[in-house]
Amino acid sequence: MPLHEFDCSKVIPERKQHAVVKGREEDLTSCLPKGYLNTIPGSISERGCAYCGAKHVIGTPMKDVIHISHGPVGCTYDTWQTKRYLSDNNNFQLKYTFASDVKEKHIVFGADKLLKSNIIDAFKAFPDIKRMTVYQTCATALIGDDIEAICDDVMEEMPDVDIFVCNSPGFAGPSQSAGHHKINIAWVNNKVGTVEPEITSDYVINYVGEYNIQGDQEIMQDYFKRMGIQILSTFTGNGSYDDLRGMHRAHLNVLECARSAEYICDELRARYGIPRMDIDGFGFKALAGSLKKIGLFFGIEDRAQAIIDEEVARWQPELDWYKERLKGKKLCLWPGGSKLWHWAHTLEEDLGIRIVSVYTKFGHQGDMEKGISRCSEGALAIDDPNELETLEVMEKLKPDLILTGKRPGEVAKKVRVPYLNAHAYHNGPYKGFEGWVRFARDIYNAIYSPLHQLAFTDISKDDFATDKGFMTRRMISDVDLDDEVKNNTELREYTGGFDSVSKLHDREYPEFESQSAPAAAE
Amino acid sequence: MQETIENKVGDLLSFIMKNSLWQFNSRGWDRRKQSEGVLTKVSELLCDEPVSKETPADKCYYAEAQCVVDGFNKNFPWLKDLSKDEIKALIHQLHERLDYQTIDASLNAELTVKNY
Ligand code: SF4
């Protein structure tokens, strides 16, 4: 096994099992790091806790819900507003966060009464919102408050409200991934099947593992609607609580982030016979294949093809403009979980970028299998990295760009390596054909930012020309380009404007004649 | 000749590993079901044989298989020169190597976990 030992982690020998280099003849039988294990003491992990995974990633994107954490206010504060999962109800779930504000005295005397009065207060403060999720945290799990019993009491007193209890305290597993698992299973056990949805199409899906980061869900929803597909629910970006109670009536579960939401798809497959179809919503080729695949399932692949043809014709010249300028750039793909495999091959194929390292903070070995399969030879794959290791990689591999979250991103900036936010995005949405061009534009802007060039000038030491003005991005990126490319009038920079989502709200969708009385998968 | 077939199977396998996701369900038993379901239909489609789309699971395997076949036809033009028997033998070997890599010789310690 081509294990990689970091100089900075020699004092933590167990870390060696968590990094591999993909060599020429390597495949998954010889090249796979360990994963989803407790962080090794001494290694300062970038992971979140299981409560964070349940609430921050999966719970909170549900839009018409009061999200209340039963615990100290710090837990909820750290999971508030740091991810841009938008919603079309004026972002209620992003604007407000709730906590029962547990203090020392409650740890001694119990916090159940406190929780009950806070739940009632929250419903009274927002009388239009009738749904709530209560999240367990470490402190309240340890004192043993019976949250289910409290919520049952409230629901009896307030019959028009419905409450979901998410029992995933921070210590419930090695990382946020444990929380993804727990909330998936709790939702399918307690809420799926408790509402009968209205079926309006012959083709009905749940769109699962999609969190509407900067509008991603709305972009994909547009394609599905153009194909005449009914989206029964989105788990959970821009998703409605009651829609998600009716997930059992879909014909197909279309799954994006398998890391965070495969569990509910697997359970819906086992309990209701709804197949699970994993797709890629990113990248031209991968997205086209995914739309086609969904079309094939329903026998409407011609509708998918029409959308693909239209979108590719509109956006390919703009993607290619960036490709010409990004070819050969080296990139570290360091997201949390699923984007390491969603993006690895598409960035290489669509933009000619070379992925020199992939890492995952909380992914499992299955995510690494996908990531390693999809990236090229020579890539360094790291599980649960610590900050010193990432600094070492940046120093040795000298990437042109890091795609990661904002905490490690700020570390990268300090060593003058540009970064883009892989979790909450810079100027997304990045899904869809137009979104992928926006992503290419952001990558281009980051790599060729004149600021980074200036940052490398040490004004206390270096001589620098005082008679020259700023370089523009274009001056930097086009310096070695062939004239043929420079003068190519077919290619153009992104023309889509600042907001690529609002225009979809006015779109009129085709009416397709129903082929048969809709039947649910049973 | 033997080596050529092995190389060809290797090319098909690399294509699947890079472009598909269905082979990576998180448990070993599930992976075996998926590869059986999809690759059986890949073989049928390549040999112009009827493909069952009766159940929701069948439809899903078919959709995945058709995408694999489209990719194969685009990237490996030599496929159309093979006889049906040769295609079947090729997909059989592909199936064996895929199961070996993703299940039987896999280093993924979670494949044998009982629950999802
Ligand atoms: S680990 Fe526990 S105390 Fe810390 S944020 Fe998570 S739930 Fe709160």
* pLDDT tens for each residue of A66-91: 999 999 999 998 788 778 899 999 99
**Cα separations (Å) of A418 from A361, A394, A422, A453?**
20, 11, 13, 11
Alpha helices in A28-135 (DSSP H): 50-52, 73-77, 92-95, 104-109, 112-125
Q: Rounded to an integer, what distance in angstroms lies between the CA atom of residue A33 and that of residue A334?
A: 15
B63 touching chain A per CB within 8 A: yes
The residue among B12, B24, B101 with the most chain A CBs within 10 A of its CB, best to mutate, is: B24
- Tally Cβ neighbours within 10 Å of residue A160: 7
Query: Which pLDDT score, from 0 to 100, does residue A453 have?
Result: 74
* Contact flag A293-B67 (C-beta cutoff 8 Å): yes
Average pLDDT of span A504-521: 78
Beta-bridge mates of residue A160: none
| Residue among B18, B26, B70 whose CB faces A373 most closely | B18
* Contact flag A297-B100 (C-beta cutoff 8 Å): no
Query: Which pLDDT score, from 0 to 100, does residue A287 have?
Result: 98
Closest Cα to atom 3 of ligand 1: A138
Alpha helices in chain B (DSSP H): 2-19, 28-46, 56-75, 84-99
Query: Which pLDDT score, from 0 to 100, does residue A81 have?
Result: 74
Q: What is the largest CA-CA distance in chain A?
A: 77
* Contact flag A365-B19 (C-beta cutoff 8 Å): no
| pLDDT tens-digit series, residues A271-304 | 999 999 999 999 999 999 999 999 999 999 999 9
Tell the residue number behind the tokens 């997930």, with chain if given: A247
Residue A403: in which H helix or E strand, if any? strand A401-404
B112 touching chain A per CB within 8 A: no
The amino acid that residue A268 corresponds to is L
Residue A225: in which H helix or E strand, if any? helix A216-226
Nearest-Cα distance to chain B for A28, in Å, is 6
With left for phi above 0 and alpha for psi between -120 and 50, is residue A299 left, alpha or beta?
A: left
CB A216 within 8 A of CB A435: yes
CB A299 within 8 A of CB A252: no
The residue among B7, B20, B25 with the most chain A CBs within 10 A of its CB, best to mutate, is: B25
Tell the residue number behind the tokens 């802007």, with chain if given: A445
What is the torsion angle, in degrees rounded to the nearest 10, for the CA atoms of residue A414, residue A415, residue A419 and residue A421?
Answer: -40
pLDDT above 70 as % of chain A: 98
Work out whether the CA dihedral A451, A387, A212, A75 comes out positive or negative. Answer: negative
| Residue among B24, B107, B116 whose CB faces A370 most closely | B24
CB A254 within 8 A of CB A207: yes
Domains along chain A with CATH numbers: 50-173 (3.40.50.1980), 204-309 (3.40.50.1980), 316-487 (3.40.50.1980)
Q: Rounded to an integer, what distance in angstroms lies between the CA atom of residue A432 and that of residue A217?
A: 9
Q: DSSP character for A504?
A: G
pLDDT above 90 as % of chain A: 89
Write the CB contacts of A59 (distance below 8 Å, at least 6 apart in sequence).
Answer: A65, A67, A133, A135, A166, A183, A236
The amino acid that residue A70 corresponds to is H
CA of A80 to the centre of ligand 1 (A): 13
Query: Which pLDDT score, from 0 to 100, does residue B3 have?
Result: 60
Tell the residue number behind the tokens 């989502």, with chain if given: A501
Distance from first CA to last CA of chain A, Å, rounded?
Answer: 45
Tell the residue number behind the tokens 């038993």, with chain if given: B29
* Secondary structure class of A419 (helix, strand, coil): strand
Average pLDDT of span A200-216: 97
Contact pairs from chain A to chain B, CB under 8 Å:
93
Write the CB contacts of A94 (distance below 8 Å, at least 6 apart in sequence).
Answer: A60, A81, A84, A85, A86, A87
Closest Cα to atom 5 of ligand 1: A75
Residue A513 confidence class, pLDDT cut points 50, 70, 90? confident
Residue A232: in which H helix or E strand, if any? strand A230-236
Residues in chain A: 522
- Out of A38, A49, A145, mutate this one to test ligand 1's pocket (max ligand atoms within 8 Å of CB): namely A49
Q: pTM of this prediction? A: 0.96
Q: Rounded to an integer, what distance in angstroms lies between the CA atom of residue A304 and that of residue B3?
A: 39
Higher-pLDDT residue of A44 and A227 is A227
Model confidence at A521: pLDDT above 60: no
Give the position, in ligand 1's atom list, of the atom nearest the Cα of A50. 6
Write the CB contacts of A386 (distance below 8 Å, at least 6 apart in sequence).
Answer: A9, A15, A43, A44, A45, A46
| pLDDT tens-digit series, residues B66-109 | 999 999 999 999 999 999 999 999 999 999 999 999 999 999 99
Query: Which pLDDT score, from 0 to 100, does residue B2 have?
Result: 56
Write the CB contacts of A204 (distance below 8 Å, at least 6 apart in sequence).
Answer: A229, A230, A232, A249, A250, A251, A252, A518, A520
Closest Cα to atom 6 of ligand 1: A170
| pLDDT tens-digit series, residues A7-46 | 999 999 999 999 999 998 889 999 999 999 999 999 999 8
Q: DSSP character for A71?
A: S
Residue ranges covered by each domain of chain B: 5-105
Residue A522 confidence class, pLDDT cut points 50, 70, 90? very low
| pLDDT tens-digit series, residues A345-354 | 999 999 999 9
Q: Does the predicted interface ipTM exceed a cut of 0.95?
A: yes
- Tally Cβ neighbours within 10 Å of residue A247: 27
Model confidence at A151: pLDDT above 50: yes
Residue of A nearest to B70 (CA): A289
Torsions phi, psi for A239 (to 5 deg): -90, 145
* Contact flag A369-B66 (C-beta cutoff 8 Å): no
Model confidence at A459: pLDDT above 80: no
Burial of A508 (0-12, 13-18, 19+ CB in 10 A): exposed
* Contact flag A252-B106 (C-beta cutoff 8 Å): no
- Is the beta carbon of A137 within 6 A of some atom in ligand 1? yes
* Secondary structure class of B103 (helix, strand, coil): helix
Q: Rounded to an integer, what distance in angstroms lies between the CA atom of residue A94 and that of residue A62?
A: 10
Mean per-residue pLDDT of chain A: 94
Higher-pLDDT residue of A326 and A519 is A326
Query: Which pLDDT score, from 0 to 100, does residue A468 have?
Result: 73
* Contact flag A28-B59 (C-beta cutoff 8 Å): no
